[in-house]
């Protein structure tokens, strides 16, 4: 049992170190990260499209199940090419949509904070401060091109550090756990 728990602990430590490195790369090089993600995603769609086309030609006329394979194959290849060629545009649209949603949520909470003013003064101030931070965060994400990738990188960095600490505590107290 101890051997298994040590293996789990070391696997967690290695995974955390890998996530830590990925987080640092995402923070310090968001453009390359986005390009890499788009390339991998584009290749994935293209491979799926090729597989669909192969399935269509192999089963041609043998099954009704494969009638849509040619359409899905062509569409998947086109989507893969679009994702690879227009990765910055897709990232910008996605980022702007998320930013606008956060701004909208911030304004909803801002109006709620004014309604809370009549119920409880302390909650009102807390809700007001949080809503202002949400609006600022939404504006930041909307207007700063790499905010989304950097934010995900920061979250990965924080998670991996917390997981490393927990894994080392686990490994140190392994004998007491059994």
72 vs 79: CA distance, rounded Å: 10
Residue 5 has a pLDDT of 67
Q: What angle do CA 152, 82, 48 make, to 5 degrees?
A: 85
pLDDT band at residue 81, thresholds of 50, 70 and 90? very high
C-beta of residue 147 within 8 angstroms of C-beta of residue 95: yes
What are the tens digits of pLDDT across the range 119-146? 766 777 888 888 899 999 889 888 887 8
Q: Which of 16-25, 61-70, 91-100 has the lowest mean pLDDT?
A: 61-70
Dist CA 138 CA 108 (whole Å):
13
Cα 102 → chain centroid: 16
CA distance linking residue 91 with residue 52, whole number of Å: 27
Kind and range of the H or E run holding 1: none
Structure-token match 């949603």, residue found = 101
Closest CA to 70 of 49, 88, 40: 49
Helix (H), strand (E) counts: the chain: 7, 0
Residue with structure tokens 């310090």? 28
C-alpha–C-alpha distance, residues 53 and 49, integer Å = 6
Q: Which of 52-66, 72-86, 89-103 has the lowest mean pLDDT?
A: 52-66
Confidence of residue 103 (pLDDT cuts 50, 70, 90): very high
Across the chain, mean pLDDT equals 84
Q: Does the pLDDT of residue 152 top 80, yes or no?
A: yes
Indicate the pTM of the whole model: 0.61
pLDDT tier, 65 (very low <50, low <70, confident <90, very high otherwise): low
DSSP string, 52-79: HHHHHHHSTTT-GGGTTHHHHHHHHHHH
Query: Average pLDDT in the 162-176 region?
Result: 78
Res. 45 pLDDT band, cuts 50 70 90: very high
């Amino acid at each position: 049992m101890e051997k298994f728990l040590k293996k789990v602990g070391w696997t967690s430590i290695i995974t955390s170190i890998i996530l830590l490195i990925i987080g640092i790369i995402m923070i310090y090089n968001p453009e390359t990260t986005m390009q890499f993600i788009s390339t991998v995603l584009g290749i994935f769609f293209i491979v799926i499209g090729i597989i669909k086309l192969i399935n269509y030609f192999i089963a041609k006329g043998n099954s009704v199940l494969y009638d849509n394979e040619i359409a899905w194959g062509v569409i998947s290849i086109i989507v893969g090419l679009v994702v690879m060629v227009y990765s910055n545009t897709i990232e910008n649209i996605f980022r702007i949509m998320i930013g606008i949603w956060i701004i909208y949520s911030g304004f909803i909470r801002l109006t709620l904070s004014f309604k809370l003013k009549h119920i409880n003064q302390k909650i009102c101030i807390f809700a007001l401060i949080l809503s202002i931070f949400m609006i600022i965060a939404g504006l930041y994400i909307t207007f700063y091109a790499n905010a989304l990738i950097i934010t995900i990188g920061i979250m990965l960095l924080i998670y991996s550090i917390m997981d490393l600490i927990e894994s080392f505590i686990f490994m140190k107290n392994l004998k007491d756990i059994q």
